[in-house]
Amino acid sequence: MDIFCLEDFKVEFEKLKGKKSYSSIEDDIINYFFGKNAQELSSGVRLNNSSETPYIKKRLNGSGGFRFYYLLIIKDEKLYLLFVHPKTGALGSENITDESKAYLYKKVLGCIKSNDLYQLSLNEETKKIDFKKV
């Protein structure tokens, strides 16, 4: 599975990674998203009622952990990370609004069409995520 993300995701990721209480975010992404197939990644809450291109909200790292929003395009074996927020702590929030979910969903479609994305890969030691502009 090739993994991409929106600029919004990269900004949030870097902001959270810099905070001690959210520093597990990089390991959480590596452990959950990398080296998995579409079936393994098809869990959580499916927001868009689509089997081919499921838009998913996934809770990671327990109840107080992170909420990831991502889109899978199964036939292309591609995954797009749209947004992440923690549930608790100084930067935590309960949920995002339906309007925000719709906004991110529309935005990822535009970014896919215009190639305005970052591709995620792991460094040699597979301990860090590299972001490369597509």
Partner 1 sequence: MDCLSHKSEISKTFSSVRNFSFEEKKVSIFDEERMNAFLDAILEFKNTFQRKTEKIIEINDRIERVTWFNDLDEESLMLINDLISSIKDLHSTLIRQYVSLNLIRSKGIAKEEIKNFKNAIDDLKENYQDLESVYFFLPEIPAFKETTKLLSLV
Nearer to partner 1, 3 or 129 (CB): 3
Nearer to partner 1, 100 or 126 (CB): 100
Count the residues in the chain.
134
How many C-beta atoms surround the C-beta of residue 80 within 10 A? 23
Least distance (Å) from partner 1 to the CB of residue 129?
A: 25
Contact 43, 54 (CB under 8 A): no
| Options 7, 38, 44, 119; binder of partner 1; rule CB under 8 A | 44
Query: For the chain, how are helix, strand and coil distributed in percent, rounded to 5?
Result: 35, 30, 35
| Options 93, 109, 126, 128; binder of partner 1; rule CB under 8 A | 109
Query: Of the ranges 10-18, 21-29, 95-103, 122-130, which one interacts with partner 1 (CB under 8 A)?
Result: 95-103
Give the position of tokens 């992440």: 84
How far is residue 25's CA from residue 16's CA, in Å, rounded to a whole number? 7
Q: Which residues bind partner 1 (CB under 8 A)?
A: 42-53, 57, 59, 62-64, 71, 73, 87, 94-95, 98-99, 101-103, 105-106, 109, 112-113
